[in-house]
Amino acid sequence: MPQPTPQHNDRHWQGRRVWITGGTSGIGWALADALARRGARLALTARSADAIAAAVAGLPGSGHLALPADIADPAALDRALALLRESWGGLDLAILNAGTYVPMRGDAIDLPAAHRLVDVNLKGTISAAAAAIALFLAAGRGHLAVVASVAGYVGLPKALVYGATKAALINFTEALHIDLAGRGIKVQLVCPGFVATPLTDGNDFRMPALLTAEDAAARIVAGLTSRRFEIHFPKRFTLGLKLMRLLPYPVAFRLIHRATGL
Ligand SMILES: NC(=O)c1ccc[n+]([C@@H]2O[C@H](COP(=O)([O-])OP(=O)(O)OC[C@H]3O[C@@H](n4cnc5c(N)ncnc54)[C@H](OP(=O)(O)O)[C@@H]3O)[C@@H](O)[C@H]2O)c1
């Protein structure tokens, strides 16, 4: 499918009300900046109120909103959404991007960290999706994009629980797409490969096909105006991991051991 021209893209985004969770850093911040440059209004959610204030002040355009909340805290999320409804009356697009990563392997499971990964990446994203979907159903239209990861395609070393939360998000988003397609709500899944952000800064291994956050955001923005369900990139990395899912387990496990040295 031909990609929309930048001009078409700008018309599409002019005045759109976009909520981004995790919008103060990395991919979320690059997305907020890219969309604000195209004329969208942004509502940013993260835990740090100071970081949100700085991010909102740094965005081009006007009418942006600061919605501080820990997405794992349902009461805080309710307060943020009440402020969004009061300020904007509704929402055109929710990008559920907030997430956290803690490297973990099977011989050293850190239970508090594991439970926190599930609370933020999975339960927090489900809570944020429910809040956005309520607004979309009331309006009879909307657009939801869930940021999972290629780590959800297949079990990988050092992604013991992180990968499990992302696999669950992929499944959740597929089911949402099926349930909401007939209700005027567009649902998309975003699966990035490695992106250089504070989340991956601490990785002690070579990250193949590493992208900048700006490059990742440009690919996501292009995908959001397409009809594709899944926005995954870079293809030279994601297609290889998709292939792993089709291989017999012994072959896939051997290839993963060999590729990672783990
Ligand atoms: N970087 C990669 O290689 C990569 C690859 C695939 C998928 N992803 C996914 O992409 C998303 C963004 O990752 P990133 O690399 O851009 O990470 P990042 O730079 O660490 O940014 C994470 C953002 O989420 C916010 N956040 C974290 N925990 C939160 C919570 N409990 N409630 C609300 N906000 C929270 C952070 O702000 P506060 O700390 O102030 O809350 C920050 O704005 C994540 O879902 C990640 O899993 C990343």
Q: Give per-residue pLDDT as tens, 128-170.
A: 999 999 999 999 999 999 999 999 999 999 999 999 999 999 9
Cα 74 to Cα 25, 40, 42, 69: the distances in Å are: 22, 27, 21, 9
Q: What is the mean pLDDT of residues 176-182?
A: 97
The pLDDT of residue 23 is: 98
Across the range 202-216, mean pLDDT stands at 94
| The pLDDT of residue 9 | 64
Q: Could you give the residue numbers annotated as active site?
A: 162
State whether the beta carbon of 99 lies less than 6 angstroms from ligand 1.
yes
Question: Residue 182 Cα, ligand 1 centroid: separation in angstroms?
Answer: 31
Give 243 Cα–ligand 1 centroid separation in angstroms.
Answer: 27
Residue 127 in contact with ligand 1 by CB distance below 6 A: no
This prediction's pTM = 0.96
CB-ligand 1 contact for 48 (6 Å cutoff): yes
The domain made up of 6-236 has a fold known as: Rossmann fold (3.40.50)
212 Cβ inside 6 Å of ligand 1: no
What is the distance between the alpha carbons of residues 78 and 75, in angstroms, rounded to a whole number?
5
Question: Among 3-12, 135-144, 228-237, which is the least confidently predicted range?
Answer: 3-12
- CB-ligand 1 contact for 149 (6 Å cutoff): yes
The pick from 194, 199, 207 for probing ligand 1's pocket by mutation, whose C-beta has the most ligand atoms within 8 angstroms, reads 199
Q: Which two tokens stand for residue 50?
A: 């100071």
- Determine the average pLDDT of the residues in 100-111: 97
**208-228 b/e (C-beta count within 10 Å ≥ 16 → b):** eeebebbebbbbbbbbbeeee
Query: What mean pLDDT is predicted for residues 62-67?
Result: 97
Average pLDDT for 79-89: 97
pLDDT-derived band at 113, boundaries 50, 70, 90: very high
- Does the Cβ of 209 fall within 6 Å of ligand 1? no
Minimum-distance ligand 1 atom for the alpha carbon of 30: 16
Report how far ligand 1's centroid is from the alpha carbon of 254 (Å): 31
> Sorting pLDDT into bands at 50, 70 and 90, what band is 1?
very low
Per-residue confidence (pLDDT) for residue 10, from 0 to 100: 78
Overall average pLDDT of the 90-113 stretch: 98
Instruction: Compute the distance between CA of residue 186 and CA of residue 178 in angstroms, rounded to an integer.
Output: 10
Q: Is the pLDDT of residue 192 over 70?
A: yes
What residue spans define the domains of the chain? 6-236
pLDDT of residue 59: 98
Kindly give the distance from the C-alpha atom of residue 218 to the centroid of ligand 1, in angstroms, as a whole number: 17
CB atoms within 10 A of CB 167: 19
Please, what is the average pLDDT of the chain? 95
Is the per-residue pLDDT at 247 higher than 80?
yes
